[in-house]
Amino acid sequence: MNNEPTLKFYPESIIRHTPSHVKWCESTEEIWEQIEPIKEFCYVGKMTLNELFLFFSQRGKASEPFLRWWNRNTIKKHIHRFFKQCNNIYFGNIFHKRFLKLASIVKMLQDLPIRNQISGIVTNEAVEIHPGGTRLALKDFYDEPVPVFLYSKLPLDILAKINKQNIKILNEKSSVRYFNDTITITPPIESYGVRQFHDYPKNQYRKTNNKVIVDNVIYFLKQNEKWIINPKLPKK
């Protein structure tokens, strides 16, 4: 599988390019050293997934690329792609990009609560989330606030300006990724994507007219023609 970021649908993207450089940090002090020179553009705090979605989707023209991405990444689209050829799939026998997102969402639901931060950028031209975009699929199910790091050239009042006292490394190490003068912070663990694909549980996935069942557990339900996460699943 080609692991390079695709720009086919994201011509305005900043953080879907390969970073200009990456700095791995193993302490809060090391992360602060990377952030301090551009701290005036960095914000941290906690938001729910739904609050994040509303913030990123309601910024006018800058939200258009984000909304185009979202419309291709709904739970309905992920289910359709996953079961495009067959309604009964043993995940241990497959490895194809079209299976990635739904399997990632199932793994996220199994790993709750969400502990790692979501990173994003805000400019006049575009808003982008990475890492953490796939977690937005849980926005109508998981309502606990999650850690958020935003890099913004525009003033924000939804989060606090970053300082040495309100930043904290959440893992044994995290990477600060530079895209020219823009940064994101990426954790190495509890990640979901191409590099973790082979480590996902080897589950049996089955789809009926109104359910998606993984190893005898109902993960998704179809209600009023809309696919949702089963509200009875545990959140912790």
Tell me what pLDDT residue 208 has. Answer: 96
Residue 20 lies in a domain: no
Asked whether 35 and 167 are in contact (CB, 8 A), the reply is: yes
In tens, the pLDDT along 66-125 reads 898 898 889 999 999 999 888 998 876 666 667 788 888 998 899 899 888 898 988 888
Which of 171, 128, 158 lies closest to 16, judged by CA? 128
Partners of residue 228 on adjacent β-strands? 221
In tens, the pLDDT along 187-212 reads 654 455 545 556 666 678 999 999 99
Q: Give me 27's structure tokens.
A: 């302490």
E strand segments, the chain: 21-25, 42-47, 88-90, 118-122, 127-129, 146-152, 160-161, 174-179, 182-186, 204-207, 211-214, 217-223, 226-229
Tell me what pLDDT residue 203 has. Answer: 79
Residue 7 lies in a domain: no
Residue 5 lies in a domain: no
The distance of Cα 2 from the centroid of its chain, to the nearest Å, equals 20
Residue 21 lies in a domain: no
Number of domains comprising the chain: 1
Global pTM reads: 0.85
Asked whether 193 and 100 are in contact (CB, 8 A), the reply is: yes
CA dist., res. 177 & res. 172, Å (int)? 17
Residue 110 lies in a domain: yes
Residue 218 lies in a domain: yes
In tens, the pLDDT along 20-72 reads 888 888 998 998 999 999 999 999 999 999 999 999 999 999 898 889 889 88
Note down the domain range covering 79: 27-229
Q: Which residue has the tokens 């979501």?
A: 118
Which backbone phi and psi does 142 adopt, to 5 degrees?
A: -105, 115
Task: Quickly count: other Cβ atoms within 10 Å of residue 41's Cβ.
Answer: 20
- Three-state secondary structure call for residue 223: strand
Q: Give me 59's structure tokens.
A: 């910024």
Residue 192 lies in a domain: yes
Q: How far is CA 145 from CA 30, 73, 142, 225, 229, in A?
A: 25, 22, 9, 28, 18
Residue 92 lies in a domain: yes
- Three-state secondary structure call for residue 93: helix
